[in-house]
């Protein structure tokens, strides 16, 4: 009897030691999207996008879009960066049909943690796929956590002025999910320390007040760049191409270039929320073109 087909089996947890810290990337979910162009390069001819896809051996139309929160255990505190999609699809299917169900909480167990163990939830920015897992059925998913938001990001969504049409529902979600958490939240600015070894970095553009986070322990350095680049080919190799989900297109381009330069020059490890799982890599620069180098065994030694 021939063996039966077993279907896909892909890992969803990647945990590694980082100095004194332990870091885990957890695949909340992923979705296959159509339209590499004009999700990326809407300010470019379609052929340019297809050419870059061919050169990198990826499909010209469909692309995988994963959602990967990061957990840092500093030895004193357990810090979760972003919460994935949570129950958004179940609760708002009509309006958010493109989002998959979030699996962060059940996969936390595979990483060795419970939702109650999370001390701090840091939100890089308030787009649905980053805040969706904060609550489930109106109740906080992480009952013992305090929250960290960027003050500019939180104020932007709370004020609700000059929000582009495509983000109107995002604003409703923010008011439902994030605003009620204000009294359990800490509000920070770029450059502020979250806990010892974790500092925020200005990454505004994709969202008006987005922040990246610099993690350092015993000389090892990693940048959680959130949605600075949301595709490992198009956004990294062509940072000047517009990305449809960037809220401020020009600022996003400037921020991508600055953060890519920082990651390449300082030889940082990078954790990217939408990079291919496990979402950890480095940025290489050659002939003024950046490339995403997925991590191999560097963090296992």
Contact with Zn ion (CB under 5 A) among 227, 232, 239, 268: 227
Give the residue, chosen from 28, 129, 153, 247, that forms a contact with Zn ion under the rule CB under 5 A. 129
Interface with Zn ion by CB under 5 A: which range of 44-52, 184-192, 193-201, 226-234?
226-234
Compute how many residues bind Zn ion; rule: CB under 5 A.
Answer: 2
Instruction: Name the one range near Zn ion by CB under 5 A: 123-131, 179-187, 197-205, 264-272.
Output: 123-131
- Between 22 and 227, name the residue whose CB sits nearer to Zn ion: 227
Comparing CB distances to Zn ion, the nearer of 50 and 251 is 251
In whole angstroms, the minimum distance from the beta carbon of 104 to Zn ion comes to 14
DSSP string, the chain: -PPPP-------EEEEEETTEEEEEE--EEEEES-HHHHB-TTS-HHHHHHHHHHTT--SS-EEEEE--EEEE-SS-EEEE----TTHHHHHTTT-TTPPPP-HHHHHHHHT--GGG--EEE-S--SHHHHGGGEETTEESSTT-EEEEEHHHHHHHHH--S--GGGHHHHHHHHHHTGGGGGGEEEE-TT-EEETTEEEEE-TTSSTT-EEEEEEETTEEEEEEETS-SSTTHHHH-TTS-BTT-SSHHHHHHHHHHHHHHHHHTT-EEEETTSSTT-EEEEEEETTEEEEEE--SGGG-
Q: Which listed range, 70-78, 112-120, 224-232, 276-284, lies at the site for Zn ion (CB under 5 A)?
A: 224-232
Residue 28 interacting with Zn ion (CB under 5 A): no
Q: Residue 127 Cβ, how far from Zn ion at the closest point, in Å?
A: 5
Q: How far is the CB of 152 from Zn ion (least distance, A)?
A: 18
Binding site for Zn ion (CB under 5 A): 129, 227
């Amino acid at each position: 009897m021939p063996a039966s087909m077993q279907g896909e089996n892909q890992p969803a947890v990647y945990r590694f030691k980082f100095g004194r810290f332990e870091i885990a990337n957890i695949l909340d979910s992923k979705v296959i999207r159509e339209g590499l162009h004009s999700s990326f390069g809407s300010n470019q001819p379609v052929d340019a996008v297809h050419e870059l896809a061919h050169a990198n051996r990826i499909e010209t139309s469909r692309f995988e879009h994963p959602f990967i929160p990061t957990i840092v255990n500093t030895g004193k505190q357990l810090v979760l960066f972003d919460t994935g999609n949570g129950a958004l699809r179940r609760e708002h299917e009509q309006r958010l049909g493109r989002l998959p169900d979030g699996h962060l909480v059940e996969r936390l167990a595979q990483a060795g943690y419970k939702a109650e163990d999370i001390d701090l939830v840091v939100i890089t920015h308030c787009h649905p796929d980053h805040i969706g897992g904060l609550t489930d059925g109106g109740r906080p998913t992480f009952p013992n956590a305090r929250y960290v938001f960027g003050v500019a990001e939180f104020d932007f969504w709370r004020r609700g002025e000059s929000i582009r049409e495509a983000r109107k529902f995002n604003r409703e979600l923010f008011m439902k999910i994030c605003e009620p958490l204000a009294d359990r939240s800490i509000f920070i600015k770029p450059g502020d320390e979250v806990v010892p070894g974790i500092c925020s970095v200005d990454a505004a553009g994709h969202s008006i007040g987005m922040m990246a986070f610099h993690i350092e322990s015993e000389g090892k350095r990693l940048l959680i760049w959130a949605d600075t680049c949301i595709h490992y080919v198009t956004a990294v190799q062509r940072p000047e191409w517009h990305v449809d989900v960037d809220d401020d297109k020009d600022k996003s381009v400037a921020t991508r270039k600055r953060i890519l330069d920082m990651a390449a020059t300082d030889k940082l490890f990078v954790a990217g929320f939408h990079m291919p799982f496990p979402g950890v890599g480095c940025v290489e620069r050659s002939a003024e073109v950046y490339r995403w180098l997925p991590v191999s065994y560097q963090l296992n030694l």
